[in-house]
Amino acid sequence: MFLDGNSQDYTKQELSDSIANSPYFSIHKDNYFITGVPTNTAINKNTANAKYQISFKQILTRSRLPWDTYLFMTYTQKSFWNIYKESFPFSDINFNPSIAIGKAFFDKEERLKGVATLSFEHESNGRDSIFSRSWNRLSLEYATNVSKNTIGRFKVWMPFAYKEGNPDLLEYTGVGQINLSHIFKPDKFFVDFRIRKGLNLDFKGSVRTRVYFNPFDNNISNQYLMLEWFVGQAEGLLNYEQSQSMIRLGYVIRTNEFKWLRGK
């Protein structure tokens, strides 16, 4: 259930019971296949492409660590596929494994108010020589309700071991991001907005807007159609300096990772 006027926050005990009954293996980020065209250059077989993502999460412990934390690992693979070229080549594949600790925070009445995650992440494109791109980061993210039907996720990272293949990467990715997800109609229609600002005085960075619509009467599989518009740099690692504006449409299995923040 998403937040509505009659929803109630999870209590500490209810959240503990829900985590205990949830599967160890689940979706982490959105799993999708989308395809589209640029809006800032000519449209042809070299500029149009497809993008897909596979992402999952494995819980290693369930609140058995100090301070009611739980340990989990994740894996996300994002691929850019030139499906309109003759040989269907992949232009870039990004691998992003992590290991993380999660903790929920409650108010004085023991009602859920937010979820924090501390992660060690590695991201690379698995290539060598001048095409090698990789970076490591220690990330801290906090997710909470910022208003009725809107969930905010605020993430900062401390990067290290990244200067060999992409020394100016932070000029395009920055050291953090903001995600806002607003529910317009429960289980039917919502919008997600993400912004990053590079470490510079220019307009380097990125803005990504996603619109999700469920055309199905019964959405037991959490399936949606997704329209995505990405503007900026560093959508992928290989050509992270390249500015682009891509609009894509396709199919997504939406993550339900922050379902507890949406209320009962």
Q: Is 23 helix (H, G, I), strand (E, B) or coil?
A: coil
User: Which pLDDT does position 5 carry in this prediction?
Assistant: 42
Q: What radius of gyration do the chain's Cα atoms show?
A: 19
234 pLDDT higher than 50 = yes
110 pLDDT higher than 60 = yes
Residue 257 pLDDT class (50, 70, 90 cuts):
confident
- The average pLDDT across 10-22 equals 83
Tell me which of 15 and 181 has the higher pLDDT.
181
Q: Does a structural domain hold residue 3? A: no
d(CA 99, CA 65) in angstroms, rounded, equals 15
Exposed/middle/buried for 157, CB within 10 Å: 0-12, 13-18, 19+? buried
Mean pLDDT computed over every residue of the chain: 91
Q: Does a structural domain hold residue 43? A: yes
The CATH number given to whatever domain includes residue 48 is 2.40.230.10
pLDDT above 70 covers what percent of the chain?
A: 96
User: Which pLDDT does position 73 carry in this prediction?
Assistant: 97
Q: For 186-206, what is each residue's pLDDT tens digit?
A: 889 999 999 999 998 888 999
Among 111, 44, 35, 99, which Cα is nearest to 73's?
A: 99
Tell me which of 129 and 254 has the higher pLDDT.
254
- The average pLDDT across 12-22 equals 83
Residues 6 or more apart from 151 whose CB is under 8 A from it?
A: 143, 144, 145, 180, 181, 258, 261, 262
Beta strands at 31-38 and 205-213: parallel, antiparallel or unpaired: unpaired
66 pLDDT higher than 70 = yes
User: Which pLDDT does position 187 carry in this prediction?
Assistant: 85
Q: Does a structural domain hold residue 1? A: no
Which of 19-28, 91-100, 158-167, 218-227 has the largest mean confidence?
A: 91-100
User: Which pLDDT does position 30 carry in this prediction?
Assistant: 97
16 pLDDT higher than 60 = yes
- State which residues form the domain around 221: 12-262
Position 12: which residue type? K
User: Which pLDDT does position 15 carry in this prediction?
Assistant: 83
Contact 199, 86 (CB under 8 A): no
Query: How many CA atoms are closer than 13 Å to the CA of 107, on its beta-carbon side?
Result: 8
The structure tokens 């494109």 sit at 125
10 pLDDT higher than 90 = no
User: Which pLDDT does position 122 carry in this prediction?
Assistant: 96
Q: Does a structural domain hold residue 229? A: yes
* Interior angle at CA 243, CA 239 and CA 245, nearest 5: 115
Contact 202, 172 (CB under 8 A): no
d(CA 125, CA 230) in angstroms, rounded, equals 20
Q: State phi, psi for 21 to the nearest 5 degrees.
A: -95, -5
Specify the long-range contacts of residues 186-193, CB closer than 8 Å, at least 24 apart.
186/1, 186/2, 186/4, 187/2, 187/214, 187/219, 188/213, 188/214, 188/219, 189/213, 189/214, 190/2
Q: Does a structural domain hold residue 2? A: no
Number of domains the chain contains = 1
Residues 6 or more apart from 5 whose CB is under 8 A from it?
A: 148
Q: Does a structural domain hold residue 22? A: yes
Structural tokens at position 205: 């960075």
Beta strands in 107-164 (DSSP E): 112-124, 134-147, 150-160
4 pLDDT higher than 80 = no
Q: Does a structural domain hold residue 6? A: no
User: Which pLDDT does position 63 carry in this prediction?
Assistant: 66
Maximum Cα–Cα distance across the chain = 61
User: Which pLDDT does position 258 carry in this prediction?
Assistant: 80
